[in-house]
Amino acid sequence: MRKMTTDLLTWVAQRTVLRSQKDGIDLSKLTFVPNRWLMPLRREGLDPVPALARARAEAPVKRLASLFGMNIWLVTGYAEAQAVLADRTSYSNDIRPLVGEVGAADGDIGGLGFTDPPEHTRLRKLLTPEFTMRRLARLTPKIDEIIERQLEVMEAKGPEVDLMADFAFAVPFLVICELLGLPDESREEFFALGSARFDVSGGGAASFGAISESRTFLMNATKAQRDAPGDGLIGKIIEEVGDEISDYDLGGLADGAFTGGHETTASTIALGAMVLMNDHETRRRLITDDTFVDPVVEEMLRYLTVVQVAFPRFAKVDHQLFGQQIAKGDVVVCSLSGANRDHRTSGPDLEHFNPHRDWPVSHITFGYGFHRCVGAELARMELRAAYPRLFRRFPDMTLAVDPSELAFRQRSIVYGVDAMPVRLYG
Ligand code: HEM
């Protein structure tokens, strides 16, 4: 039964990807975004465009565009990005003033990422106990099991498979279902909703529509667990603080974990596999030396920085930011991929993937400050298990197409591809 579920999910993933040809969260569809805003989202293959490094060299806090008197600032420096992301006095994450009622049709577009303290603090406190190492440890055997099962799916389908659908999308999706404690039989429905929300071909409003549908799904899952709490995040929050939280808020928290954790982890798995397919030496050591797994995962997180920019921050007050005058209402965008390549903080040669360095390179791939990724440890657990197991099973795996044929998303906050054809046996 479980195997069937997984195969079906893989099939649904492939159909969805083929049907939608989706382009991630396409900011160009949101008419308020000027073209120049998109530079921090552009890459050449896996690397940010050179204009990003030039912007940092010119000014780590730089005006990117001006629109009806509202400035959009781009932050590409490491220390500068940390300062913005940690500042709860000068900035708000509440996007509603910008999208108006489109995004807030039902009064709430959901997710911790869009809320400010004290509401953010209240909601985050409910979520964090479920992400402690102790609670996450229960997922370790599940993660291994899910990965092994997907490897079997790949082997059965080989010698050529789509790494994205058959492995990279499927693994974090099934892990999040385990995290939330969703019953097996509801997972396909949930998967379809999750895919729809990233397809914004109908414009920003349509994608917000899909967001509210998947939130309704999770709200109903919450209602169903009120009487019989499951062993996952939803059930545990109900058991511990059920009286303090509505189904709507808990559905929103679960939804935020799903939005934050699926596409991001999927992209890091797939793009990371692509890096490793091209790096024979690292791949060989990764599968034979357990102590090498951590450095590879940390460097991969830094190098790929799949969440290219943090959520936009809206200035609440006029203030100075590293010599620039920010006005109330201005938008500040922190380029995490730019910050992670800032040689002033972390030394030279940060443009390349290099897990062999003998000094630790810090990164802010998971953000920084009070909105820092709540699922960072879970993501690391998945990556630490996924890369070595994938290459132990298929040590000679290669891309089945020329890298130039891969359809990298052009304007997506979460960088990635929708399909990655690979040959399992070289
Ligand atoms: C490689 C995988 C991941 C990456 C690169 C990533 C990246 C990020 C980043 C950069 C932020 C902060 C954004 C900002 O400050 O504007 C964030 C927030 C968040 N992430 Fe992740 N994430 C990953 C995996 C996960 C997972 C597995 C989960 C949960 C299952 C998750 C849940 C969240 C949530 C709920 C937030 C909002 C936190 C808050 O606003 O307080 N993420 N993530």
Ligand 1 centre distance from Cα of residue 237 (Å):
19
Q: Are 378 and 136 in contact (CB under 8 A)?
A: yes
**256 touches ligand 1 (CB under 6 Å):** yes
> 331-334 and 70-75: which strand pairing?
parallel
Q: What's the pLDDT score for residue 23?
A: 38
The type of residue at 265 is T
pLDDT value at position 18? 37
The rounded Å distance from CA 389 to ligand 1 centre is 24
| Ligand 1 atom having least distance to the Cα of 367 | 10
User: What are the domain boundaries of the chain?
Assistant: 8-423
CB of 195 shorter than 6 A to ligand 1: no
Question: Cβ(324) to ligand 1 under 6 A?
Answer: no
pLDDT score of 195: 56
Tokens coding 66: 């001006």
Q: Identify the residue whose C-alpha is closest to ligand 1 atom 3.
A: 264
Tens digit of each residue's pLDDT, the chain (426 residues):
333 333 333 333 333 333 333 334 444 444 445 566 789 999 999 999 999 999 999 999 999 988 777 899 999 999 999 999 999 999 999 876 655 444 433 434 457 888 899 989 988 999 999 999 999 999 999 999 999 999 999 999 989 999 999 999 999 999 999 999 998 888 888 877 765 544 434 344 444 455 567 778 888 889 999 988 988 999 999 999 898 888 888 888 898 888 889 999 999 999 999 999 999 999 999 999 999 999 999 999 999 999 999 998 999 999 999 999 999 989 999 999 999 999 998 888 899 999 999 887 899 999 999 999 999 999 999 999 999 999 999 999 999 999 999 999 887 889 999 899 999 997
CA 388 to chain CA centroid, nearest Å: 21
Q: What would the two tokens of residue 258 be?
A: 């799903």
CA distances to 219, 342, 345 from 339, in Å: 37, 5, 9
Residue among 85, 255, 373 whose CB has most ligand 1 atoms within 8 A, to mutate: 373
Q: Are 287 and 391 in contact (CB under 8 A)?
A: yes
pLDDT of 184: 84
Burial of 337 (0-12, 13-18, 19+ CB in 10 A): buried
Residue 321 in contact with ligand 1 by CB distance below 6 A: no
CA distance 159 to 138: 34
pLDDT at position 259 is: 83
Binding site membership of 373 for ligand 1 (Cβ less than 6 Å): yes
Q: Is the peptide bond before 118 cis (omega within 30 degrees of 0)?
A: yes
User: In this structure, are strands 70-75 and 43-44 parallel, antiparallel, or unpaired?
Assistant: unpaired
CB of 307 closer than 6 A to ligand 1?
yes
What pLDDT score does 194 carry? 60
Mutate to test the pocket of ligand 1, among 264, 305, 371, 415 (most ligand atoms within 8 A of CB): 264
Whether ligand 1 lies within 6 angstroms of the CB of 265 is answered as: yes
Q: Which amino acid is at 351?
A: E
Task: Look at the block and give the residue holding tokens 């909703």.
Answer: 193
- Among residues 173, 158, 175, 184, the alpha carbon closest in space to that of 17 is found at 173
Fold of 8-423: Cytochrome p450 (1.10.630)
HEC per residue, the chain:
CHHHHHHHHHHHHHHHHHHHCCCCCEHHHCCCCCHHHHHHHCEECCEECHHHHHHHHHCCEEEEEEECCEEEEEECCHHHHHHHHCCCCCEECCCHHHHCCCCCCCCCCCCHHHCCCCHHHHHHHHHHHHHCHHHHHHHHHHHHHHHHHHHHHHHHHCCEEEHHHHHHCHHHHHHHHHHHCCCHHHHHHHHHHHHHHHCCCCCHHHHHHHHHHHHHHHHHHHHHHHHCCCCCHHHHHHHHHHHHCCHHHHHHHHHHHHHHHHHHHHHHHHHHHHHHHCCHHHHHHHHHCHHHHHHHHHHHHHHHCCECECCCEEECCCEEECCEEECCCCEEEEEHHHHCCCHHHHCCCCCCCCCCCCCCCCCCCCCCHHHCCCCHHHHHHHHHHHHHHHHHHCCCCEECCCHHHCCECCCECECCECCCEEECCC
From ligand 1's centre to the CA of 260, what distance in Å?
A: 5
Looking at residue 269, what is its pLDDT? 98
Question: For 188, how many CA atoms within 13 A lie in the half-sphere containing its CB?
Answer: 13
Rounded Cα distance between 40 and 412, Å, is 10
Counting from 1 in the atom list of ligand 1, the atom nearest the Cα of 313 is 16
Q: Whose alpha carbon is nearest atom 6 of ligand 1?
A: 366
Residue 85 CB less than 6 A away from ligand 1: yes
- Amino acid 12 reads V
Alpha carbon distance 328, 273 (integer Å): 43
At residue 113, the pLDDT reads 85
Atom nearest to 115 CA in ligand 1:
40
Q: Whole-prediction pTM value?
A: 0.89
What pLDDT sits at residue 97?
A: 61
- For ligand 1, the distance from its centroid to the CA atom of residue 113, given in whole angstroms, is 8
367 CB near ligand 1 (under 6 Å): yes
> What confidence score (pLDDT) does residue 98 get?
58
For residue 94, count other CB atoms closer than 10 A to its CB.
16
Ligand 1 within 6 A of 388 CB?
Answer: no
Do 184 and 6 meet the contact criterion of CB atoms below 8 Å apart? Answer: no
